[in-house]
A and B are shown apart, each in its own frame.
Chain A
Amino acid sequence: MSPVLRLDTVTRVHGSGETEVQALRGISFSAHAGELVAVMGPSGSGKSTLLTIAGGLDSPTAGTVTVEGTDLGSLGQAGRARMRRTSIGYVFQGFNLVPALTAAENVALPRELDGESARRARAAALAALEEVGIADLADRFPDDMSGGQQQRVAIARAVVGSRRLILADEPTGALDSETGEEVLRLLRARCDAGAAGVLVTHEARHAAWADRVVFLRDGVVVDESGSAPVERLLDEEPAL
């Protein structure tokens, strides 16, 4: 099966000469349908860069990015924007909500932009808000919500409808440990239902919800951990 997301020897260089920064150095990476991949690494290791490139928000200096078989580099601005509205859900490191729109309007926006009727877009938005546990805040504006609530609106916006690729940059940043876990359950459920997910996180506890954990350092993948069968585990615990 071909992956939903594929990065092939992707390099991203910011600036030039003295100030040149190699944010990514020849990274190859993929995420399949049904798979949640976590990306960990120290600050500045290139995690957000990797995600923005995967989401078509930034372009690689070299290498190719393919989403559902389409090379993002071969699309124009409009084509990429369309892809972002329909196939790719993105949770930003900041929440990036539109302050003048209510929670429900923020979540409905990408669907409306894509030509869905306002009524149907709102219905989908309410369902997504319900899923993240804040249906009652649908008509509030971002400024009147706590950080954790705004975070959940941003997540609802990323999972609304049936996006096949969900990219989340520190989606649990402003959440307490139980709410953070709810978000992971939600991402996990979306992936179990067939989406491919990439999660950037500093917290190992959250990365552990993923099928694979990729460690980045200085723009390269230094390590990858899959997981062993669950059954093995209990046998190896030392006796009390």
Chain B
Amino acid sequence: MSVKLALLALLETEPMYGYQLRVEFEGRTGSTWPLNVGQVYTTLTRLERDGLVEPAAGDEQQDAGGQDEDGRSQQRYRLTDAGRDEVAAWFTTPVSRTQPARDELAIKVALAVTVPGVDVGTLIQRQRTASMAALQDYTRLKRRAGESDGDLAWSLVLDSLVFAAEAEIRWLDHCEARVRRAARERATTRPAAAEQQTARSQEAGR
């Protein structure tokens, strides 16, 4: 997704300055997806052009033409009616699942089982160790977040990372079991290739 909808949703609370939007976004998502200020201002400019936000009343007069040294306008933005409709539509529509993001790991495994000479067992094993380490890290961040109140938003983002990493590990277990079974089946149905396949399944089993 673009940051557009997140910024619009934040403006639902109250009119905000660009830098403030960035702080609020990162506060709620725990800096998991860092935003740079430039990105925020570019997006606001586009949103204003599309009639979804406008300068907040009051700031308009005082800040007319006012810019900081980087040339960014120092004004607060608020939602227009069209912007408010956009936010409402976002929260009432499920996130689209029709176009899965390109998943490097899935692609890598798909290629590994088809490109000759790749040690799939080791690939899976290494990935699982790495994913497990990431999962341990998320969990420690979670323990930390749990200590103070009002961290619900951030801790739910962490849970999302935790469940995704867990799903990845389960999928890797599943791949491993299937690769081993496929190797065994090939070994029994094609005795000529048996020796090579046994070696491979042992690789996978290591």
Contact = CB atoms under 8 A, between A and B. Distances in A.
A208 B132 contact: yes
B188 interface: no
Interface string B134-158: 1111111101100000000000000
Nearest to A238: B33
Interface stretch (A105-113, A161-169, A222-230): A222-230
A133 B166 CA distance: 26
A238 B177 CA distance: 31
Contacts of A233: 134, 137-138, 141
Size bracket, chain A contacts: 20 to 34
B contact patch SS: helix
A223 B133 contact: no
B35 A223 contact: no
Interface stretch (A62-70, A78-86, A152-160, A199-207): A199-207
A213 B136 CA distance: 9
16 contacts: A203-B166, A204-B131, A204-B165, A205-B163, A207-B132, A207-B135, A209-B139, A210-B136, A225-B132, A225-B136, A227-B136, A230-B137, A233-B137, A233-B141, A234-B31, A240-B34
Interface of B: 1, 3, 30-36, 125, 128-129, 131-141, 143-144, 162-163, 165-166, 169-170, 173, 177, 205-206
Question: Sorted from nearest, which 8 A-B pairs have the closest CB atoms?
Answer: A240-B33, A227-B136, A208-B135, A208-B139, A204-B169, A205-B166, A225-B132, A204-B166
Interface of A: 42, 185, 188, 203-205, 207-210, 213, 215, 217-218, 222-223, 225-228, 230, 232-234, 237-240
